Structure 1
Amino acid sequence: MRKLIFEEFISLDGLAADENGSTSFFESATLNKHSDEEQLKWLDTIDTILLGANTYEMFVQFWPTDQSKGELVADKLNTLPKLVFSKRLKEAPWGNYEPAQLVDTDAAETVRKLKLENGKDMVLWGSISLAQSLMKADLIDEYRIRIVPVVLGKGRPLFENSDVMDFQLDEVKKYESGLLLLKYRRKASVGQ
C-alpha cells in the first residue's frame, strides 16, 4: 500500500504562513542549502504530488518557470505527476510540462483509493486546508515537519482546530542553517 507523506515548513511557533498568508519565511536558498540534496534523493521514492488550489497557484508561479533553474529539485519536481484538489479551478497547467490533473471530488475518498493503488509514495505539500481534512480522516502516514528558526507571532497554524493527535518521532535531522526536519507518524489508536 502506498503511503501519503505530508511535508510542511513551519515557524518555531507552529505557523505555516504569516498573518498575510505569505510563506516567504522559508523561501531562502541559504536555509535549504543542504537539505535539497536529501530532498532530491527522497523524491525518488515519490510518484505523485498532491496540492490544494492555493499551493498549486503559488508553486506554478515558480517551479515550471525559468526562476527555478538552478534549483536542485526543479527537474524532478516538474516532471512528477500532480493532482490538484479544487472545485474552483478549471485547469491546472504546469508550464511546458504535463498539466496537473484536477480533482473536484471528495479528497478523503480520492486519497483512500490512491493509497490502494500500486506505485511509489505520494507527497502532499503545503495545502493546509486539504492537509487538515486528510488529518481528520487519518489518511496521512508520515509527517515531515521542517521547522524554520523564526517566530512569526501571528499567522495560520498547521494544527488549527485539530483533534488530539499522538505522534511517534522517527527521525530528527539538523541542518547548518538552523532548519530542523522532524519525521513523525501517528501512533495507532487504542483498538487499531
Structure 2
Amino acid sequence: MVQEFVTADGFAANIDNEFTAYELLQGGTAEFDQSQQEWLATVEAVVLGAATYRMFVEFWPTPASDGEIIAPALNALRRYVSSRQLQRAPWGGLAEATIESGDAVEAIRRIKREVAGTIVLWGSLTLSEAFFAAGEVDAMRLVVMPVAIGAGRGVFPAGQDPTLLKLLRGRRTTPGWSNSNTRLMPAVPRKPRSAPERQPALRGAAGLGPCVVIWASVWIPVARRPLNWVP
C-alpha cells in the first residue's frame, strides 16, 4: 500500500518537489489523527525513501512527538529505508531501520515475502513511482487536505496508463480533511477505434435531395444520492 498526502487539486509536492501544503492549513487535526491511529493498527511495516526517513527521524522517535497519538503505533512498525548512500538508519532509542541499498523493486518483493501483514510506503514519491512502474502497488491510501496549490508533482507517474481504483473505505474528518483506502484494479485494455462507416446521404421527402438531421442531446436533471462516507 502507498499512502500519500495530497492537495485538493491532486498534488503531493509543489513545483520545487517539496511538501509544504501542510503549513498552509488552519485548525486542529485531532479527528484526522484518530483515523490515522485506527488505520496504523492494521499496518505491520513501513517503507521510506531516504528523504522521508530524514524528515521522520527528526520528529517521530524524539520527545518532540510526545502527545502525538499516532507516535506509539508509528514507532512500533518494522522499518525499511531505501537508500544507496546511508549506511545506517537509527530511529532514536528504538531499533534501527533496515537499510535497503540494492534494487528497490527487488527489495520490496522480498519484504512482501517476509512480512505477513500490511506494508505501507509513506510518501517517498520517487520510490512510489518505481513501484508503480514495476506493478508492485496494489492499494492506495490518499489523504486529501483542504488546500489547492495550482501546480506540482502528482501521486501517479506521468504518462502511465489510466489506473482504476475501487473504494474500500472513505472518511471525512474536520476541518475538511478526507482519506480513502482504494484498491488498484486491473486495467481494461482499450479497444482500437475502427474507421467510421460512410453513411449514405439521407433523402428528403419525395426525393427532393439531401436533408439535414440535427441531433440534439437534452440534459435532464436527475436526483443523485450523495456520496456515502464510512464513519
Aligned with 2:119: secondary structure?
strand
Correspondences of 1:122-133 after superposition (within 5 Å) = 122-133=119-130
Task: Go from structure 1 to structure 2 and tell me whether the alpha carbon gap of 1:61 and 1:110 turns closer, same or farther (over 3 Å shift).
Answer: same
TM-score, normalised to structure 2, is 0.74
1:54·1:127 contact (CA, 8 Å) conserved in 2? yes
Offset of residue 189 of structure 1? 3.6
Give CA deviations for 1:136-181 in whole Å, capped at 9, x if unaligned: 1111121000111111123222223241222222222111211111
| 2:16 counterpart of 1:12 | no
1:109 is aligned to 2:130:
no
Spell out the pairing of 1:41-190 with structure 2 (5 A cutoff): 41-164=38-161, 165-190=163-188
DSSP 3-state at the match of 2:39: helix
1:37 and 2:34 aligned:
yes
SS of 1:34 mapped into structure 2: helix
SS of aligned partner of 1:36: helix
The alpha-carbon deviation at position 59 of structure 1 amounts to 0.7
Kindly name which structure, 1 or 2, has the bigger radius of gyration based on alpha carbons: 2
CA change 1:72–1:81 in 2 (3 A) is same
Q: Which amino acid aligns with 1:186?
A: L
TM-score by length of 1: 0.88
1:36 maps to a residue whose letter is D
Whether the 8 Å CA contact 2:132–2:157 is kept in 1: the answer is no
CA contact (8 A) 2:105 2:130 kept: yes
Deviation at residue 31 of structure 1 after TM alignment: 5.1
Q: Provide the rounded CA distance (Å) in 2 between the counterparts of 1:79 and 1:168.
A: 29
- Does the residue aligned with 2:142 lie in a helix, a strand or coil? strand
Residues 75-110 of structure 1, C-alpha deviation per residue, up to 9 Å, x if partnerless?
Answer: 121122210001011211111111111001111112
SS, match of residue 44 in structure 2: strand
List, as ranges, runs of 4+ consecutive aligned residues in structure 1 with deviation greater than 6 Å. Answer: none
Unaligned runs of 5+ in 2: 190-231
Distance (Å, rounded) in 1 between the aligned partners of 2:83 and 2:64 = 25
Q: Percent identity?
A: 34
Say which of 19, 26, 49 aligns to 2:22.
26
Aligned pairs, number: 187
Q: Give ranges in structure 1 of 5+ residues lacking alignment.
A: none
| Aligned 8 A contact 2:142 2:181 in 1 | yes
- Report the CA distance shift for 1:163/1:21 in structure 2 as closer, same or farther (over 3 A): closer
